[in-house]
Structure 1
Amino acid sequence: MDWSNIPNWISSVSSMAALLFAAVAAVAARNVYKIESARDQANAELRAERESMERRDQAALVSAWWGYSSDAGRPALDWGVFIRNASETPVYDAKFSVLSLDDPNLGERFEMAVLPPAAEPVFRPIALTAPNSTEFRVEATFTDSSGQRWIRDKQGRLHELGPKVLVWGEELRINALRRFFSEFLATHGVDAQLRSGQFEELFDTLRDPNDAVPVPDILVGPHDWIGILAERRMIEPLRLSPRHRDAFDPLAIDAMTFRGELYGIPYAFDAPALLRNVDLVPAAPASFEEMIHMGQELLRVGAAEVPFAMQVPSPYYLYPVLLAAGGELFGRREDGGLDTGEFRVNTPRSRAALERFRELGLAGLGCLRPEIGRIEAVDLFITGRTPFLLCASRVLREAQKAGLNLAVEPVPPYRGFAPVRPMVTVHGFCLTRRGRNKTIAKDLIVDHLTRTAVSSSLSEIWPHVPVRLDALERSRGAEPAIRAFYETFRSGDPIPSMPEMGDVWRALKRAEVKLVDGAESGPVARQLAKQLEELTNDRPDAAGRQRAKGRLD
Structure 2
Amino acid sequence: MRIRTAGVVAVLGLALAASGCGSDSSDEPAAKESTKAATGGKLVIWADDKRTAALKPFAEKFGQENGVTVEVQAVSKDLQTNFVTASQQGSGPDVVVGAHDWIGNLVQNGAIDPVQLAAEQKSGFNETAVKAVTFNGQLYGVPYAMENLALIRNTELAPEAPKTIEDLVAAGKKLKAEKKASEILCLQSGQNGDAYHIYPLYTSGGGYLFGTAANGDYDPKDLGVGKPESIEAFKKIAKLGEKGDGALKRSITAENSIANFTGKKCAYLVSGPWAVADAKKANIKYDISPVPGFAGGKEAQPFVGVQAFYVASKGKNKALAQEFVANHVSTPELAVALYNAEARPPALTAALDQVKGTDPDLAKFQEAGKNGQVLPAIPAMATIWDPFGKAEAAIIGGADPATTITAAGKTISGQIK
Regarding TM over 0.5, the answer is: yes
User: Could you say if the C-alpha distance between residues 172 and 341 of structure 1 is closer, same or farther in structure 2, counting changes exceeding 3 Å?
Assistant: farther
Amino acid at match of 2:258: V
User: Could you say if the C-alpha distance between residues 307 and 191 of structure 1 is closer, same or farther in structure 2, counting changes exceeding 3 Å?
Assistant: same
Give the alignment of 1:151-550 within 5 angstroms: 154-156=32-34, 158-161=36-39, 164-185=42-63, 187=65, 188-196=67-75, 197-199=77-79, 201-206=81-86, 208-209=88-89, 214-312=91-189, 313-331=193-211, 339-536=219-416
Aligned to 2:131, the other structure's residue is in SS state helix
Amino acid at match of 2:382: G
RMSD between aligned residues: 2.7
Amino acid at match of 1:269: M
TM-score by length of 2: 0.84
Amino acid at match of 1:429: F
User: Could you say if the C-alpha distance between residues 292 and 441 of structure 1 is closer, same or farther in structure 2, counting changes exceeding 3 Å?
Assistant: same
Aligned to 2:256, the other structure's residue is in SS state helix
Q: Deviations over 1:26-70 (max 9, x none)?
A: xxxxxxxxxxxxxxxxxxxxxxxxxxxxxxxxxxxxxxxxxxxxx
The answer on whether the counterparts of 1:222 and 1:427 sit within 8 Å (CA) in structure 2 is: yes
Q: Deviations over 1:311-336 (max 9, x none)?
A: 22321111112112232223356788
Amino acid at match of 1:253: V
Q: Deviations over 1:510-546 (max 9, x none)?
A: 222322333221111111221232233x5xxxxxxxx
How many residue pairs were aligned? 387
Query: Which structure's CA Rg is the greater one?
Result: 1
Q: CA deviation at 1:169?
A: 4.0
User: Could you say if the C-alpha distance between residues 156 and 168 of structure 1 is closer, same or farther in structure 2, counting changes exceeding 3 Å?
Assistant: closer
User: Could you say if the C-alpha distance between residues 218 and 207 of structure 1 is closer, same or farther in structure 2, counting changes exceeding 3 Å?
Assistant: closer
User: Could you say if the C-alpha distance between residues 179 and 309 of structure 1 is closer, same or farther in structure 2, counting changes exceeding 3 Å?
Assistant: farther
Residue 77 of structure 1 is matched in structure 2 by none
CA distance, structure 2, for counterparts of residue 203 and residue 516 of structure 1: 35
Q: CA deviation at 1:451?
A: 0.7
Task: Considering Cα pairs closer than 8 Å and 6+ residues apart, tell me whether 1 or 2 has the greater RCO.
Answer: 2
CA distance, structure 2, for counterparts of residue 135 and residue 217 of structure 1: 22
Q: CA deviation at 1:499?
A: 1.4
CA distance, structure 1, for counterparts of residue 357 and residue 92 of structure 2: 40
CA distance, structure 2, for counterparts of residue 525 and residue 376 of structure 1: 26
The answer on whether the counterparts of 2:206 and 2:229 sit within 8 Å (CA) in structure 1 is: yes
The answer on whether the counterparts of 2:143 and 2:309 sit within 8 Å (CA) in structure 1 is: yes
The answer on whether the counterparts of 2:201 and 2:237 sit within 8 Å (CA) in structure 1 is: yes
Q: Deviations over 1:344-364 (max 9, x none)?
A: 233334212212323433333
CA distance, structure 1, for counterparts of residue 139 and residue 215 of structure 2: 22
Identical pairs, percent: 27
Amino acid at match of 2:401: S
CA distance, structure 2, for counterparts of residue 344 and residue 368 of structure 1: 23
CA distance, structure 2, for counterparts of residue 276 and residue 177 of structure 1: 33
Aligned to 1:310, the other structure's residue is in SS state coil
Aligned to 1:285, the other structure's residue is in SS state coil
The answer on whether the counterparts of 1:477 and 1:483 sit within 8 Å (CA) in structure 2 is: no
CA distance, structure 2, for counterparts of residue 206 and residue 408 of structure 1: 40
Which protein is richer in strand relative to its size?
Answer: 1
My pick for the range that moved more, 439-448 or 173-182, is 173-182
Amino acid at match of 1:418: K
Q: CA deviation at 1:164?
A: 4.4
The answer on whether the counterparts of 2:42 and 2:71 sit within 8 Å (CA) in structure 1 is: yes
Residue 16 of structure 1 is matched in structure 2 by none
CA distance, structure 1, for counterparts of residue 299 and residue 383 of structure 2: 27
Amino acid at match of 1:185: G
Give the alignment of 1:12-27 within 5 angstroms: none
Q: 5+ unaligned residues in a row in structure 2: which ranges? A: 1-23
CA distance, structure 1, for counterparts of residue 323 and residue 30 of structure 2: 14
The answer on whether the counterparts of 1:176 and 1:461 sit within 8 Å (CA) in structure 2 is: yes
CA distance, structure 1, for counterparts of residue 285 and residue 343 of structure 2: 16
The answer on whether the counterparts of 2:55 and 2:334 sit within 8 Å (CA) in structure 1 is: no
User: Could you say if the C-alpha distance between residues 168 and 155 of structure 1 is closer, same or farther in structure 2, counting changes exceeding 3 Å?
Assistant: closer
Give the alignment of 1:15-164 within 5 angstroms: 154-156=32-34, 158-161=36-39, 164=42
Amino acid at match of 2:69: V
Q: Deviations over 1:459-510 (max 9, x none)?
A: 2331111111122233333311011001111222211211121222233222
Amino acid at match of 2:342: W
User: Could you say if the C-alpha distance between residues 250 and 347 of structure 1 is closer, same or farther in structure 2, counting changes exceeding 3 Å?
Assistant: same
My pick for the range that moved more, 349-358 or 257-266, is 349-358
The answer on whether the counterparts of 1:180 and 1:449 sit within 8 Å (CA) in structure 2 is: no
Q: CA deviation at 1:179?
A: 4.4
Amino acid at match of 2:172: G
The answer on whether the counterparts of 2:35 and 2:320 sit within 8 Å (CA) in structure 1 is: no
Q: Deviations over 1:399-430 (max 9, x none)?
A: 22222221111111110012222221011011
